Chain A
Amino acid sequence: MSEVRDDRQYTETHEWILDNGDGTYTMGVTDHAQELLGDMVFVELPSEGDEASVEDEFCVVESVKAASGVYAPVDLEVVEANEVLDDEPELVNSSCYDAGWLVKFKSDPIDGLMDASTYSETLD
């Protein structure tokens, strides 16, 4: 069973978004997504200050099996990318909700994405 955490919101494209409470959000891919993709080998991250419009592909996670785009859930500006993933992309597999986060960004308040229980239902 894939892990889903109650403290964050989810997209239909299997990303999670965590509200940091200071006007920024942290984003990553879900446990379900990393299981489907298999062993990660490269993560292509945006740079600090990059802007993305809603539904833009602004990161790519690439596993042995496939490359998968990560999409902006809203209009946003990147404030930090998890550069540790350049050397340790496998953190996306082993710790997708913690050390394997992808980017931090600022944006207008986000609501209207799925909560944990709604997202869980989509996985059944």
Chain B
Amino acid sequence: MKQTPLYQAHLEANGKMVDFGGWEMPLNYGSQIEEHHQVRNDAGMFDVSHMTTVDFKGAEAKKFLQILIANDVDKLKTQGRALYSCMLNETGGVVDDLIVYYQDDENYRMVINAGTTEKDIAWINLQAEDFDVIVEPKLDLAMIAVQGPNARAKVFEAMPGVEDVAGELKPFNAASLGELFVARTGYTGEDGFEIMLPEKSAEFTWKMLLEAGVRPCGLGARDTLRLEAGMSLYGSEMNENTSPLEAALTWTVDLNNEDRHFVGRGALEALRNDGVKKTIVGLVLNGKGVIRDHQKVVTSIGDGEVTSGTFSPTMGKAIALASVPMGTTGSCEIEMRNKLVSAKIVKPPFVRNGKVLV
């Protein structure tokens, strides 16, 4: 199995290591619920070095990204600005979801999922054949996400010089400091940074953050936090057979520029004209139990399926994202351990910045 540069640090912190798509990663360091609260209330850090950074360089970098992904990088005008997008196949299904950062029209940086990296790189290279662009996976970078209301202050305390370049950063923007790349982004619904850095600096930086009071958090808490924040997980809410229009990600698809023929556009337009049949909604369980992935959802206009289910530590209730027939509102029932249990249908996010919103 593959290990990140922080593998030893995880063992020292009693990380419970599990196989996560071929990577040996910490599920938790004792209690995933305590780690969850740590991020909502103070500051926690996640090793996300298994994710992959890809740089795009060349005269046609912008033109290439405009056909590669469904959102339009033309929106990015200032250095460090970030954009969330899906990368589609010809049938409008999602190859991966990603964040792309703007440096200038000839330089972009992209972060893609760990489990999809090989597939993504092959796909990107195939699409890039006719463009003047160099696709450069940066496999020697580590990545640490520091998240929580006190995350930024603790990063400034732990990492000299970062406040000078990142102190004024607005959400969804990034800045560089030498080999460091600091982005005010995340996957928890809290403020904070995602920091890319050379492998050799990872362990030292992790220790400095520990000393500043940032607590290590595992993949378990990462999942409950992102689910409370209503954020999609590739492979759960969307996949190669589900388009963004069917996954409540229409806001990430930019059809404004009619001359921008991005991959999958034709399929999306055809789907839109035929009528989109399903979408993703949030569910809050009435009563006890925990909603689990793939449980059947029964609504008045047809059946659906739980795409991500969990227990929300912030709300003290079971919550889920579920794929249901378009137009489902009000309430539904979930088939849990051979019983039908009622649930309320809500619009995610469930929790943002420590506050319950549903």
Q: Which A residues form the contact surface with B (CB < 8 A)?
A: 38-39, 41-42, 44, 60, 62, 64-67, 90, 93
Contacts and interface: CB of A to CB of B under 8 A. Distances in A.
Given A64-B224, A64-B311, A38 B28 contact: yes
A61 B107 CA distance: 52
Nearest to B337: A67
Given A38-B27, A41-B290, A64-B33, 10 more contacts: A39-B32, A41-B33, A42-B289, A44-B289, A60-B337, A62-B290, A64-B311, A66-B292, A90-B33, A93-B31
Nearest to A44: B288
Interface in B268-317: 288-290, 292, 310-311
A39 B290 contact: no
Contacts of B235: none
Interface centre among B28, B224, B311 (most CB of A within 10 A): B311
B220 interface: yes
A92 to B, nearest CB: 13
A67 B220 CA distance: 16
Contacts of A66: 292
7 contacts: A38-B28, A41-B311, A44-B288, A60-B337, A62-B290, A65-B220, A67-B337
Contacts of A44: 288-289
A60 B289 CA distance: 10
A14 B224 CA distance: 27
A42 B288 contact: yes
Interface string B246-280: 00000000000000000000000000000000000
Given A38-B28, A38-B32, A41-B311, A67 B288 contact: no
Interface of B: prevailing SS: mixed
Contacts of A39: 31-33
Interface centre among A62, A66, A93 (most CB of B within 10 A): A62
B289 A62 contact: yes
A60 B290 CA distance: 12
* Shortest Cβ-Cβ A-B pairs, 10 listed: A41-B311, A39-B33, A42-B288, A62-B290, A64-B311, A39-B32, A39-B31, A64-B32, A38-B32, A41-B290
Contacts of B224: 64
Interface of B: 27-28, 31-33, 220, 224, 288-290, 292, 310-311, 337
Nearest to A42: B288
A82 to B, nearest CB: 16
B156 to A, nearest CB: 32
A48 to B, nearest CB: 19
A62 B310 CA distance: 11
Contacts of B28: 38
A39 B31 CA distance: 6
B220 A64 contact: yes
Contacts of B220: 38, 64-65
A46 to B, nearest CB: 14
A90 B236 CA distance: 28
Contacts of B33: 39, 41, 64, 90
A67 B31 contact: no
B335 to A, nearest CB: 13
Contacts of B337: 60, 67
Contacts of A90: 33
A100 to B, nearest CB: 15
A38 B220 CA distance: 10
A44 B220 CA distance: 23
A44 B224 CA distance: 22
B233 to A, nearest CB: 16
Contacts of B290: 41-42, 62, 64, 67
A38 to B, nearest CB: 6
Nearest to B221: A64
A90 B31 CA distance: 10
Contact of A64 (B288, B289, B310): B310
A39 B312 CA distance: 12
A11 to B, nearest CB: 21
A5 to B, nearest CB: 22
A64 B31 CA distance: 10
A51 B220 CA distance: 37
Contacts of B31: 39, 93
A38 B289 CA distance: 15
Contacts of B288: 42, 44
A93 B292 CA distance: 21
